[in-house]
Amino acid sequence: MALLGFAGNPWFETVAEAQRRARKRLPRSVYMALVAGSERGITVDDNTAAYGELGFAPHVAGLHGERDLSTTIMGQPLSMPVMISPTGVQAVHPEGEVAVARAAAARGITMGLSSFASKSIEEVCAVSNQTFFQMYWVGTRDVLVQRMERARAAGAVGLIMTLDWSFSQGRDWGSPPIPEKVDLKAAVKFGPEVALRPKWLWDFASTGKLPDLSTPNLTPPGGTAPTFFGAYGEWMGTPLPTWEDVAWLREQWGGPFMLKGVMRVDDAHRAVDAGVTAISVSNHGGNNLDGTPAPIRALPAIAEAVGHEVEIVTDGGIRRGSDVVKALSLGAKATMIGRAYLWGLSANGQAGVENVLDILRSGIDSAVLGLGQRSVRDLSPSDVVIPPGFPRVLGTKNSVRVVEAVRDAG
């Protein structure tokens, strides 16, 4: 199969290759906005590195000729334990989240649409009947309900509330400049880097549209879509949510509800008390509070604590099917992906996202085969090799005791 990867063939063999192509295709500022990470990049690096630390304990005979990769999350069937995580990313591809949603639908998985996305919930629900709408705590309660009801009316089948954003600023390698809107001033400023990426420009130019940096899912009734920065300003000015607010939003929605960004056992218990359907053990792909450990390290303790009460998914650092299998072995029911599909979208639009999903599917199948399991639902910690010191138990009495013991020993 690798022979097919000759120059000019849009098919790629790994997510790493999709990323290389994205780097070549996208203007530098757009590419760096996807690389993201915050501050020193400790967390973004740990997210991928942690998967590399885990090993497998394979069998060699008695393997299963047919494997079942399917599962369900928040009442939705998934053909494999992978979901599209919401990303508020603009200007990657003219079809943006609609292309991602088409790919997700074609491969039988759910689509998470960010409230900061470049395409509207109506456009996305028109091509995927398994769309979850993602909201941050932005605006008044009335405004939140209005946006949520709009998503419901469009056909969203679940709500994701993301709460782990801490407005961290500054990357040691430099944040990319992002224009307020694409106008003449921006064209002059970004002209040189865009000129180096004619294929990207042509993709947009051939649709007759320039990249649109507005947020159509935050449009007030009868108004116009705020710019990305306008919406970000509203967010920064909104009082921070409490656990009562989480329970309130969950109640307003009334249907399947995921809390995304949980890293601690005590917060997982609070999320259960707030009545959530699912938790995503996540650190926002390392874009947030730098120094937060990789979610896969925090997953086992959270799964053990609340896995019998709510569905547990995880995201952050997943680049191959074997990563998905490791996450399931440590207690997740499914995984969410961010950059992996963004690289596919950048490299080859909808077909590129499908390519990424196919890579993940075959990687999951291969690992499940090697581990001698019949179904992804049979995976357990005994399928993986966990090095000493790998797990991080955050937010339990036990973790406090460990810190005290270290302090006392010092």
Ligand X SMILES: Cc1cc2nc3c(=O)[nH]c(=O)nc-3n(C[C@H](O)[C@H](O)[C@H](O)COP(=O)(O)O)c2cc1C
Asked if 88 touches ligand X (CB under 6 A), the answer is yes
- Identity at 130, one-letter amino acid code: Q
In the three-class reduction of DSSP (H, G, I as helix; E, B as strand; rest coil), residue 151 is classed as helix
From candidates 76, 131, 162, 346, binder to ligand X by CB under 6 A: 162
Q: What is the DSSP letter of 183?
A: S
Q: Which residues are identified as catalytic?
A: 284
Asked if 159 touches ligand X (CB under 6 A), the answer is no
Min dist CB 314 to ligand X, Å, is: 9
Of 116 and 253, which has the nearer Cβ to ligand X? 116
Min dist CB 219 to ligand X, Å, is: 16
Selected range binding ligand X among 15-23, 87-95, 242-250, 296-304, rule: CB under 6 A: 87-95
* Structure tokens given for 127: 């091509």
Residue 283-302 contact track with ligand X, rule CB under 6 A, x = bound:
-xx-x---------------
DSSP string computed for 254-299: -S-EEEEEE-SHHHHHHHHHTT-SEEEE--GGGTSSTTPPPHHHHH
Asked if 217 touches ligand X (CB under 6 A), the answer is no
Asked if 96 touches ligand X (CB under 6 A), the answer is no
Residue 125-154 contact track with ligand X, rule CB under 6 A, x = bound:
---------x--------------------
Asked if 316 touches ligand X (CB under 6 A), the answer is yes
Of 67 and 359, which has the nearer Cβ to ligand X? 359
Q: Are 289 and 260 in contact (CB under 8 A)?
A: no
Burial state string for 339-358 with b = 16 or more CB within 10 A and e = fewer than 16: bbbbbbbbbbbbbbbbbbbe
Of 71 and 118, which has the nearer Cβ to ligand X? 118
Burial state string for 180-215 with b = 16 or more CB within 10 A and e = fewer than 16: eebeeebeeebeebbeebeebeebbeeeeebbbbbb
Interacting positions 103-122 with ligand X (CB under 6 A):
114, 116
Q: Are 110 and 101 in contact (CB under 8 A)?
A: no
Number of residues engaging ligand X in binding (CB under 6 A): 26
DSSP string computed for 91-120: SS-TTHHHHHHHHHHHTT--EEEETT-SS-
By CB under 6 A, name the binding residues for ligand X.
33-34, 36, 47, 85-89, 114, 116, 134, 162, 260, 282, 284-285, 287, 315-318, 337-340
